[in-house]
Each structure stands twice: as structure tokens, then as C-alpha cells.
Structure 1
């Protein structure tokens, strides 16, 4: 948190995020010109994967250069296997039996990812010796920390690999899913969409694209993101292990007990939320409620020492991407743009995706290409 994803580092790597957003808006603009539909979950996944991959390794996941393409495949495979039901986890006499082949597949994924990261790290080390320059990505920063003999805790190469894996897996689909849910809610609530667009036009105008620095001046957009994260937390439950015996709600909780916090239920608790099942961004108007773990009935990123370390990066991506999408385009639901509403059924998984991916036809409300200059 202090060295890797702090404000200074995020500012230094702002051009990467800006470049990927511009590429995404250009892609949507071409689709709008052709009148073709877009499966937004897939395209948003490409956007977030490219951003995180470039932040860490200066490589785009969507590039077909072998390495970058392998990164995308490995991250997808990890997300799939983590979300599957493992019989050996629940039936004690099966714990040493790989009945479903998950252990074999996990070892294969680890071997491939390890070999891939070894190549990338070696290339970075060679480049660092040949060039005298500031860190160009987060892997450079990690390698610099690992070489610092004054560090209290030595950062090993294995630590670096695991950290990169954690961020790639945790930071790609979560941001993409958050944007997809928010846009789906706006399509189903055209009056709220209209207010959001009016705010953006008033604050930013129609002569430039929304930027990250504009977010603080767009309180209604912030409220929309908060309300979407309340109704559709990308991680619907938080898992923790108790460090010592304790009592919660009259129940004795022994040490080393796995506890599951039902974030989805807290977000819909009528004790804390008026009309909890309705999408109402106005509920955040004039309040100090935020999503950073200080209010225990709104915990999309967790709380305390184990809160999501990428919260600042994630919120920047969600706000600016959603803002750009509604600033530049109107959205017509369905393959042909002929559906009246979006199906809001929830899918099953360790994250909370839509059961049916959002497919829309973008219609340009202003020409975005000149705004990207």
C-alpha cells in the first residue's frame, strides 16, 4: 500500500490508464458507426486486464505476442477453478484424493504462470542494467524494493510473483463487473441516466472527454457508483479467520474459525437502508457514507487491515470508464437494440457477475474521436 499502489505511483502511471480508456472509447465508437452490438463484460474485461497488465509489466493482455495472450488465459483459468465446488474441501476422507482433477490443474497453472513470470522478470532485470531511468511499471518498483538491503522484511522473487498474480486475478473481473452492473442499472432507470449525463455535460462540457481529475466534481456520478456497489457488490461475501476466542451476537466463536461476512445481505438490510431493493443514488446525497470500509453496512471492498489494497485504482477505473461511456454514447439493450429493459439476474461464482452478460448497441451522442486528441 505504501510503496506500490500509493497516490504518487498511481499519478505516475496515469498515462497508461488514459491510453487504455481512449482505445476502449475508440472501439465503441467504431461499433456505434457500424450499428453493431457489444458484449460489454468481455470488452470491459479486456480494458481492465490491459490496464493492470501494463501497470505491472508494460504489456497488454490483449496483444497476441504469446506472453500477453498467456497472461489472459491463465487469469481466466484461475478465476474458473477458484469458483468451482471442490468436493475434497468438504468431505474429510477425500481431502488427499484429487477426485475432480483440481490439484493437477492447479499445479499446471502454477507451473505455466511461474515460467511466464520468470521470463518477464528476467527481461526487466536485463533492461534495468542497460538503462538508467525511473521505474516504468510496478514490477520495476517491486524489483527495486527486493534489492533494498535496508528493508526490514526481504521481498523475494516468489513474493513478487504471488503479488502480481493476486492483483491480476482480483483486479480484472471485479472492476469490469462493477462497471457492467452500473450501466445496466442506468439503462433500466433512464431518469437517473439523464441526470448523470446532464451533470457531466454541465461540469465537463462536450469538447473533451471526462478525466480522473473530474470525478471529485461529479457527486451524482459518485452516488451512482456507490449505489451500484451497494446493490451489486462484486465480492458478495468476505472470508476471515478468527485469531482468538470471542463472542459475536451472543454466539461463541472459537479461535481459528472461518467466518463469512454476508456483504450482499448487509447491503439490503432494511435496518440501515430505506427501500433497500431499489436503485436510488439520491440516498447518498448529503451523507458522508463511503465505500472504504468505515461504515459496516456498506463494505464492497472489505474493511480494516485486510481491506482491498487496490481500492483507489479500482474506484478511479470504475468512475472514469462509466462516465466516459455515458458521456459519449446512448445505450440500446439487446443484439439489435430493441429490448426495453436489462435482465438483472445474478450469476453464480466467487464474484457476483450478471447471469446473462450485458449486450448493447452504442449510439453516439457526440463524436468521441476529437475528444481523445
Structure 2
């Protein structure tokens, strides 16, 4: 016993003298859960204003480090990147994505690196994205026809943007569109589930409460429905590919392969001794819909909302689009690449309305951040909303000013820690080019062809801008506008 005393004393002394980040006052058992509010990113930003850019919260029994400044983010994402490469246990979302067998939630390691390489090289390379231009053109043309047919009446642009993004993604992933209510319903239920705070995740002995409120049943139902759907799609593609392989040389049509065909090929052939299984294929497909689709659609509805509220910006953007379009039938992807003010509008939109407001990581080891001692297995939330609102970085951060991104080196690649809209570092989103290409050409064509106003003579500056709570931070209410053809 006497031998153990110095060890116990030293451990206790070390723990007492660690430099722990400041923390808000917490309640027994639930910790700081009651302070999160309905909009996690906004609640955390308000707490950071009181307690500093690095603070430690306790969600139940789980310690969570909150980073709300450029300096803290840089230390986490760059200086100590290898200490924060895991996503950590993320409850419901992990159950919905085959226990983290997808790209977004898989633990960092050799399998994850091989999977990311496969996705970057074979699915989302610039060459592959360009190969689907025909699909984007056709889906955008359908959207434009819908707007023309409804000119003078109220148009739901939230539904339009959701339809065009899902249409493109379905076609490049599966080779066909799925517009039946059951599929769209699964997607929407998935988005709602992943932001529900699971009591059992943070307070293990309250797992019974999740069962009582039906959360487990809902999660299992959505997971099974998605799994059944994806299994059916995969089996259909295997049968079709087997039938067509007797007379079609796929090498002749390399650029027209769909994502699901490429994934099935990689499963069959393997790369560098890396073999993906059926669950990984389904997990990657879910990533496409949960990541690329929702981010693109959310950014589009916020961008158009901000343009309606800011007629000066709308007029300036239309002048730029007109100068490039020069009365052509539509704005092509090549044209969109020359629209620098449009790019600034989208960047400014995503600064104010980060689609995914929190980057979630977990510490793999004890590490220091901004001089504070962070223990292994601490959850980490980087508040992207706070980074976009920081007055130390942005002049008049609450205002929509696209000009701040003109002739500005800040990009989406994750090297600018004040602006990480597609995450960054080794776990950065590989779908940047896919999402940007689609967003730019959709918004450019809508602005080019139509004048847009709020219904019933409402003023643009009065447009309601409340946020909804789902996988991404989208509008709470649908964006309803009246379109009229522009005169050239």
C-alpha cells in the first residue's frame, strides 16, 4: 500500500494541475446539454463569446472541446492534425452508415486512406466530374422549363433546387432517377435523424430513454429501408452489367460509367490489396446523398435568398452574367467558370450560412491546444459558423458583401482556417469540384433568365431567414418566389 501511495498521489497531483480550458457552469448528470439550444452552432458561438475561443463542455459524461477561432482551428487541423483524425463515436449517424464503413465516418487508418484514394481518383476526379456535364445540362434544362411554365405564379425554389440536385446525383450514381415518395422520404428522414441528440450517446445509463421515445426504432427502420433499397439497386446493376457484358465493351464507354458501376468494379478487382465490401459501397453512396446533395441544395437556397434580400448584389451579378451570356440560350459550364462575382456570391453565402456548421473530430491522444491540456478521447467540435462570424477576421461579418472575396486568395481547399466550408486537411471533402460546378451553373442560369420577387408585393429585405435543423443548416421555411422572364 505504501508503495502505491506515491503513484496515486502523483496521478492526482498531475490531474489537479493540468491546464484545463474554461468551461461554462454545468448541471449534474446532463452537464451542458441544456445550453445547446435548437441551433447548436449559434448556441456554441454565444457561449464562446463569454468563455473564450477554446472551451470545454460536458455533454453528459462526454468531454467536448469547442474551437471557435482561427488559431485554435489551425492547431487542431494542422499543427496536431494526426492527433485529431478520428471522428469519434457519433451515435445515430454511425448506425445509419454501416458502423462507419463509409468515407465520412470511418476511423483514420490504411483502409480509410485507400477508400479515400478510390473515391478521389475514380469517382470525384475533375475528369470524372466533367464527364457528367450532359447529365447536369439535362437536369438544369428541366428545372428551367419548370420555372418558365410557372412564370407569374408562386414557385417553390427550395423544391426546385432539391429536385435538380437529387436528379443529377441519382443519375451519376445509379444511372437513373428515383423520384418516388418512398425514396425521397427515406432521404428526408435520414437528414432529420442525424441531428437528434441521443441521450444514450452522452449519458449511457439513459439509453432506455432513447428506446422510450422511439429513437432506436426510427433509426433501425431508416437504416433497414435504405439498406433494402441499396441492395435492390446493386443487384439490379449486377444483373444488367452481366447481361450487357456479353456484347458491350465498357472500355469504349469509360467516361459514361456510373458511380455504382465503378464501385462494383473496384470491389471485384481490388486496388493495392485493398478490397471493399458491399457495406462500404452502400456507405459511400449514402455519403454522396448526405454530403454532396445536401450541401449543394442548401447553398443554392441560401444564395438565392441573400440575392433577394440584397438587390444591389443581384443587379451586379445579373450584369456580370449578361456580359458573359451575351443573349445565348443558356449559361454553359465554361461560361460559369468566367463568372468571378458569381463565385464570390457563393463564397459569401457559405461564409454566412455554412451548410455543415460543425466539424466533428476526436482526440486520439493527450495533446495541447492553445496551451490547454486536452485528454485522449475528447470529442472536438470546430464551429465553422463562429469562424465566419468572427469580427477579428471579417469586417462587418453580419452583412452580405461578396466583394470581400473578389481578388482574394481564400478558397475551399481547407488551407484558410477562417473559411473551411468543405472541412480541410486529410479529412477534407473530396466532392468540392462536383458541388461547386453544379452550384455555379444552376444559379447562373436562374439569374440569367429570370427576374425574381417575393409574392404579394413583399419587400426583399423582409424575407424571413430562420434556420432549420437537419443534416445541414437549411432554411426553416421554403423559399417561395415569383419568376418573370428577363428582357434582353
TM-score, normalising length from structure 2? 0.71
* Residue correspondence of structure 1 range 239-318 to structure 2 within 5 A: 239-318=360-439
The answer to whether 1:174 aligns with 2:295 is yes
Q: 1:219 aligns to what? A: 340
* Residue correspondence of structure 1 range 82-231 to structure 2 within 5 A: 82-95=194-207, 98-131=211-244, 132=248, 133=250, 134=253, 135-231=256-352
Deviation per residue, 1:162-215 (Å, 9 max, x gap): 111121122222211101111111111111111111111111211221122223
Q: 1:45 aligns to what? A: 162
Secondary structure at the counterpart of residue 360 of structure 2: strand
Q: Which residue of 135, 142, 147 maps to 1:28?
A: 147
Q: 2: distance between equivalents of 1:320 and 1:300? A: 19
CA distance 1:73–1:278, change in 2 (3 Å): same
Deviation per residue, 1:279-312 (Å, 9 max, x gap): 1111112211112211000011111111122111
RMSD of equivalent CA atoms:
1.7
Q: Which residue of 6, 17, 33 maps to 2:136?
A: 17
Q: 2: distance between equivalents of 1:188 and 1:143? A: 46
- The structure with more radius of gyration: 2
CA distance 1:203–1:245, change in 2 (3 Å): same
| Contact kept? 1:146, 1:155, Cα under 8 Å | yes
Secondary structure at the counterpart of residue 337 of structure 2: helix
Q: Which residue of 71, 75, 80 maps to 2:183?
A: 71
Q: 2: distance between equivalents of 1:300 and 1:309? A: 12
Deviation per residue, 1:133-157 (Å, 9 max, x gap): 3353111111111111454210111
Q: 2: distance between equivalents of 1:59 and 1:122? A: 15
Q: 1:2 aligns to what? A: 121
Q: 2: distance between equivalents of 1:72 and 1:171? A: 16
Count how many residue pairs are aligned between Structure 1 and Structure 2.
Answer: 359
| Contact kept? 2:191, 2:290, Cα under 8 Å | yes
Secondary structure at the counterpart of residue 150 of structure 2: helix
Deviation per residue, 1:249-297 (Å, 9 max, x gap): 2221112211000100101111111111111111112211112211000
| Contact kept? 1:57, 1:139, Cα under 8 Å | yes
Which sections of structure 2, spanning at least 5 residues, go unmatched?
A: 1-119
Q: 2: distance between equivalents of 1:78 and 1:347? A: 15
Q: 2:7 aligns to what? A: none
Q: 1:25: how far off?
A: 0.8
Which sections of structure 1, spanning at least 5 residues, go unmatched?
A: 368-373
| Contact kept? 1:28, 1:362, Cα under 8 Å | yes
